[in-house]
Amino acid sequence: MEYVIYGLGAVVFFALVMASIALHEVGHLVPGKIFDVRTTQYFVGFGKTVWSRMIGETEFGFKAIPLGGYVRFVGMYPPAKDSPELIRSARTGVFQSLADSARAAEWETIRPEDDGRLFYQKKTWQKLIIMAGGPTMNILLAFAILLGVTATYGVYRTQLTVNRVQECVVAAGEPVNDCAGKPKTPAYLSGIQAHDTIVAFNGAPVTDWDQMSQLIRGNLDRTAQVTVLRDGQTVQLTPVDTVITGVPDRWDPGQRVAAGFFGVEPVVERERGGPVVVLDDMWTMTQQTGHALLAFPAKVYYTAANLVTGQPRDIYGPMSIVGASRAAGEVASTNRIDAGDKVATGFMLLGSVNLFVALFNFIPLLPLDGGHILGALYEGLKKLLARLRGRPDPGYVDTARMLPVAYAVGGVILVAGVVLILADLIDPIKLF
């Protein structure tokens, strides 16, 4: 039965992710239709067509490989400014040949009646709305999902109230109850007690555990004066020196950094919250995702190296949609949390996936949406500067020239996807 629940949880989560991808493409499709761009295809998946249906001028359907989706707008690349003769005689570079080939393939499908309905002919602000519509849809989905969980069920958050005081300083992996011959923690020496509520650190008021944690980490081995609320009374604890120890990096938990250590375990409680709380959570997640994206190529490389050499996988490393689905299946089948926590955790994971998809697509490189957004912004800036200087309209930006970059980025994404899927199948990250 456990395996059935595991499989069902994984399949349901995968289907929800694909539904999110489908809605991402709707975020492109709807403004494209509103601004009258000729739209020939809307597909979920890649590869061979499994099912499709023509609705108006657009073919809607599903492809055999459910790992993405796309909307095809006609006229993504403007015509070449040079004459065909100049193209044949002068444009012999490999990169230029790629651009000209893609442009030629694009223009084979363009009809005379499409004039005015081509994507490149649209106003800059319209292009921005169309291309930003997809990732914006994922941001809205992430917000709605996270708000649904936070407002109804609640999210577990660390409190400033002390649950347990660690008696001695132990190395990572050592049992915390074996204190023979080990130094006492600064918290133990300060006299802090379970059920105390921390209200200040070195005279600075603290309002949440994250703030307190950052103050402790940044204190290194300097003196710490902690103030607590105990039985309704404010108590100044004995000043102590925090100690330096290795802790997971805030933005890259797979790395350990030197930081101050105090030695208390805070109370964790489930709290409900509204839109402001969710937006604050999403901002923190955005910062974490930004750091993760910067380290993504290196993380994928080390994942591949560990897979080949048989080294343990970094539990904080990236995973594919397959890995995320397996994690959802693991959450669904575990007996360590109750049903409410399982549902909440699954939807929190889905919300975080949507936020990641949005931020990933905003990367300003083709073939990602951010690359098209950057092209539209550059075109708009050129036109604006030309107007301000009283010069002629410089025309459309030839995004076809960036196709070599698109092919390179697409190749990296493909390789990374294959590596992570293999790793998630062979050596998956386990939550429990």
User: pLDDT tens for residues 116-156?
Assistant: 899 999 999 999 999 999 999 999 999 999 999 999 999 99
pTM of the model: 0.88
Q: Is the pLDDT of residue 2 over 90?
A: no
Buried b (16+ CB within 10 A) or exposed e, 174-193: eeeeebeeeeebbbbebebe
**Averaged pLDDT score across all residues of the chain:** 89
Among 66-70, 369-373, 395-399, the least confident range: 395-399
Question: By CB neighbour count within 10 A (0-12 exposed, 13-18 middle, 19+ buried), where does 44 fall?
Answer: buried
Q: Is the pLDDT of residue 256 over 60?
A: yes
% of the chain residues with pLDDT over 90: 67
Query: For position 88, what pLDDT does the model report?
Result: 42
Query: For position 177, what pLDDT does the model report?
Result: 67
Q: Measure the CA angle with vertex 26, ends 101 and 367; round to 5°.
A: 30
Average pLDDT of the residues in 318-341: 92
Residue ranges of domains in the chain, CATH in brackets: 156-271 (2.30.42.10)
pLDDT tens digits for range 365-388: 988 999 999 999 999 999 999 998
Average pLDDT of the residues in 389-405: 85
pLDDT tens digits for range 20-62: 999 999 999 999 999 999 999 999 998 999 999 999 999 999 9
In this predicted model, which residue has the larger pLDDT, 16 or 431?
16
Catalytic annotation, residues: 25
Q: Is the pLDDT of residue 72 over 50?
A: yes
Q: Is the pLDDT of residue 106 over 90?
A: no
Average pLDDT of the residues in 170-191: 78
Number of other residues whose CB lies within 10 A of the CB of residue 196:
22
Q: Is the pLDDT of residue 175 over 70?
A: no
% of the chain residues with pLDDT over 70: 93
Query: For position 109, what pLDDT does the model report?
Result: 78
Q: Is the pLDDT of residue 89 over 80?
A: no
Please identify which residue in the block is written with the tokens 């594919």: 320
**Tokens coding 353:** 């996936």
Q: Is the pLDDT of residue 362 over 90?
A: yes
Q: Is the pLDDT of residue 17 over 50?
A: yes
Q: Is the pLDDT of residue 325 over 50?
A: yes
In this predicted model, which residue has the larger pLDDT, 128 or 172?
128
Query: For position 416, what pLDDT does the model report?
Result: 93
Alpha-carbon torsion angle 350, 14, 318, 5, nearest 10: 90
Q: Is the pLDDT of residue 176 over 70?
A: no
Asked if 117 and 74 count as a contact pair (C-beta separation under 8 A), the reply is yes
CA-based nearest residue to 149, from 327, 426, 308, 346: 346
Q: Is the pLDDT of residue 84 over 60?
A: no
Query: For position 98, what pLDDT does the model report?
Result: 60
pLDDT tens digits for range 187-233: 999 999 999 999 999 999 999 999 999 999 999 999 999 999 999 89
Q: Is the pLDDT of residue 399 over 50?
A: yes
| Category of 42 on φ-ψ map: left (φ > 0), alpha (ψ -120 to 50) or beta | beta
Query: For position 173, what pLDDT does the model report?
Result: 58
**Tokens coding 163:** 């649950």
